[in-house]
Amino acid sequence: MKKEFKTAPSCLEGKEMYGFDWKEHVTAIPSPLVVVTSYKENGKTNATMQSWLTFSNSDGFYCIFADVSKYGHLYSSVKNRKSLVINFPSADIYLKCYSTIHNNKYEDDEIEAAGLTAEKSALVDAPKIKECFLNLECEYVWEKELVPDSYRVVMCVKVINVVMDEEYYNEKKKGRYGDTGYLYNIHSPLNPENGERENTYIGTLKKYATYDELKNKNF
């Protein structure tokens, strides 16, 4: 039976949401998990774990970041150099990527501090992470405040170069999906009836069926 939640349930009163709306946790909609890299003004590498992003096509291939803080290194470095790289990690290097959350001082070379390898990009002024199986070199296009006077912005960037490990675009080898492929952020699912909240999960995507199989079979 479906239930409606127009306002925050009483069981959520006083619960810490860490800046997120309660609906974020009730829906717990998975989003791709990436590491965004750029150069800080001092030339050191910046690496930011990021989710809440999607992709769109219109005279090119674009990424829309739904939630970028104006007060972070990611925002300032991208505004300064108009360049960034979106790096897709596999599960085997996730913990190294996650460590960039703690190695994020202005004077830190954040990719090196995480035990990862920075490489120069071919077309943009931003580093890419060698160990990530997919790197998207991007140029800044525009931004808009999420709501008026918000410290968060929606940011659009254009993908101008794709660098991908051949073992991943070959589905007969590692492939893009399953245990070795794309990672997803499953953000602290919350039960709106009793307020119970689970830990955040890292998920992977499993192929279910082709369109033709769905049309021809009764699943």
In the chain, how many domains are there?
1
Checking DSSP bridges between strand 152-164 and strand 61-69, what pairing results, if any? antiparallel
Domain span holding position 129 = 28-216
Average pLDDT over residues 26-36: 97
> Cα–Cα distance between 88 and 32 in angstroms, integer?
9
The span from the CA of 32 to the CA of 182, in Å, is 7
What is the pTM assigned to this prediction? 0.95
Long-range contacts of 53-60 (CB under 8 A, 24+ apart): 53/86, 55/159, 60/158, 60/159
Supply 181's token pair. Answer: 């492929």
Q: How far apart are CA 139 and CA 42, in angstroms?
A: 20
Please report whether residue 2 resides in a domain: no
Q: Which whole number is the average pLDDT over 12-26? A: 91
| Averaged pLDDT of the chain | 95
Segment holding 166, helix H or strand E? helix 166-169
- In three-state secondary structure terms, 185 is strand
Tokens of 177: 């999906």
Whether 76 is covered by a domain: the verdict is yes
Report the pLDDT averaged over residues 140-161. 96
**pLDDT, mean of residues 202-215:** 92
Q: Residue 11 falls within a domain, yes or no? A: no
pLDDT digits (tens, 9 = 90+) for 100-137: 999 888 899 999 999 999 999 999 999 999 999 999 99
Answer yes or no: is 159 within a domain. yes
In this structure, the number of other CB atoms found within 10 A of the CB of residue 188 comes to 16
Longest Cα pair distance anywhere in the chain, in angstroms? 59
Buried b (16+ CB within 10 A) or exposed e, 125-138: ebbbbebbbbbbbb
pLDDT band of residue 217 (cuts 50, 70, 90) is confident
**Token pair listed for 107:** 């004077």
Q: 4 lies in a domain?
A: no
Burial class of residue 214, CB neighbours in 10 A (0-12, 13-18, 19+): exposed
Q: Does the residue 37 lie in any domain?
A: yes
Structure tokens at 217: 């079979």
Which CATH number do you get for residue 58? Answer: 2.30.110.10
Q: Is residue 197 part of a domain?
A: yes
Tell me the C-alpha distance between 89 and 105, whole Å.
22
Q: Which is nearest to 139 in space by CA: 88, 86, 87, 84?
A: 84
Q: Is residue 88 part of a domain?
A: yes
Identify which of 109, 85, 217 has the alpha carbon closest to the alpha carbon of residue 163.
Answer: 85
